Amino acid sequence: MPIRVENLSHTYMPGSPFSSTAIHNLSLTIDDGEFIGILGHTGSGKTTFVQHLNGLLMPTGGTVVVNGTDIVAKGAGLRELRKQVGLVFQYPEYQLFEETVMKDIAFGPKNIGCDKEEIDRRVRWACEQVGIDYETTGKASPFELSGGQMRRVAIAGVLAMRPKVLILDEPTAGLDPEGRRAILSMIKKLHTDTKMTVIMVSHNMDDIATLATRLIVMNKGTLEMEGTPREIFKQAERLKKIGLGVPQGAELAQRLRKEGFNLPDDIYTLDEVCDAILKLKGVAQDV
């Protein structure tokens, strides 16, 4: 399911006094099995962009080609597209509505016309993926659960469609550190186990630093930077200029470098910094 975005532009309410351009001339490609992190300040167009990938928004300029199908073309089959590209919105727990967790997760598969056994199989699978107990929690009302659990159920609701591409918009927003870690490791496991393409939108550098294989940095609706985390986090100044930061590890390494410690400039995780410091110390001891 490669995705090709060509000169994509989106203007809200074009031609009215309230018109505003959210995305301007964005081009990029996303290959199978990638883990893409989309970074950007509030209002940089991240959310608007991802809503184009499953046809919830239509471009006002340019196009998006998913698996060879142009989403703008007539008869592009939006339902088929949404089956392939699952989108988990920000605060997805607010879209739960069914009496039981099971039924809510079954909503997606039912809509795409799965039979009863297939639905049950998918619900079980999705529950397992997000760490929800099918037998007990499955029969509870989604409104009785804690915030973190509700979010997992909501993610399971999208997973049950068995998408080839999973998009998550700020999946850790508003969660406590424990809940955040749980969601992140769940996403990581999903990506390694199922080999699905994952696109994660965030403005939290640390969330994305350890997971993504490639980063896309957006600023004011345009593509600002693109590359591996290592390439991106090297350019701390540029990131700070557009209102973003760097992961804790990169920040620490940079400050130590300023103090005269000879650390490499392309490390960004705390583990890497730890190793580099130990190495530095080891070298010093050897001398």
Partner 1 sequence: MFKDITLGQYMPGDTVVHRLDPRAKILLTFVYIAMVFTVSSPLFYGIPAVYVFMTARLAGLSFRQLLKTIKPLRILLILTFVLNVFFSGGKTVLVHWNFITITQEGLLLAVHFSLRLIFLVLGTSILTLTTSPVALSDGIEILLTPLKKVRFPVHELAMMMTIALRFIPTLIEETDKIMKAQKARGADFESGNLIARAKAMTPLLVPLFVSAFRRAGELAMAMEARCYHGGEGRTRLRVLRFTREDGRAFLVSFGMLALLIVCTVLW
Residues near partner 1 (CB under 8 A) are 12-13, 16, 18, 51, 54, 56, 79, 82-83, 86-87, 89, 92, 94-97, 107-108, 111-112, 143, 157-158, 161
| Number of neighbouring beta carbons within 10 Å of residue 229 | 23
CB–CB of 212/39 below 8 Å? no
Structure tokens at 52: 């184009």
Longest dimension (CA), the chain: 71
Q: Compare residues 138 and 229 and give the one whose CB is closer to partner 1.
A: 138
User: Judging by DSSP bridges, how do beta strands 69-70 and 165-169 pair with one another?
Assistant: unpaired
Is the Cβ–Cβ distance between 39 and 227 less than 8 Å? no
Helix/strand/coil for 32:
coil
CB of 227 to partner 1, least distance (A): 29
Tell me whether residue 93 or residue 224 sits nearer to partner 1 (CB atom): 93
Structure token digits, residue 42: 């509030």
| C-beta of 190 vs 253, nearer to partner 1 | 190
| Rounded Cα distance, 167 and 46, in Å | 11
Minimal CA–CA distance to 50: which of 68, 69, 37? Answer: 37
Cα gap 79→202, rounded to integer Å: 26
To partner 1, the closest distance from the beta carbon of 3 in angstroms equals 16
Where would I find the H helices in 27-91? 46-52, 78-84
Alpha carbon distance 110, 56 (integer Å)? 19
Q: Which is nearer to partner 1, 163 or 247 (CB)?
A: 163
Q: Which is nearer to partner 1, 96 or 183 (CB)?
A: 96
Nearer to partner 1, 87 or 223 (CB): 87
- Tell me how far, at minimum, the Cβ of 279 lies from partner 1, in Å: 47
In the complex, what is the shortest distance from the CB of residue 89 to partner 1, in angstroms, rounded to a whole number? Answer: 5
Handedness of CA 111, 113, 117, 123 (dihedral sign): negative
Under 8 Å between Cβ of 128 and 134: yes
The residue among 108 and 247 lying less far from partner 1, judged by its C-beta, is 108
Minimum distance, C-beta of residue 154 to partner 1, in the bound complex (Å): 9
Min. distance of Cβ 108 from partner 1 in angstroms? 4
User: In the complex, what is the shortest distance from the CB of residue 142 to partner 1, in angstroms, rounded to a whole number?
Assistant: 10
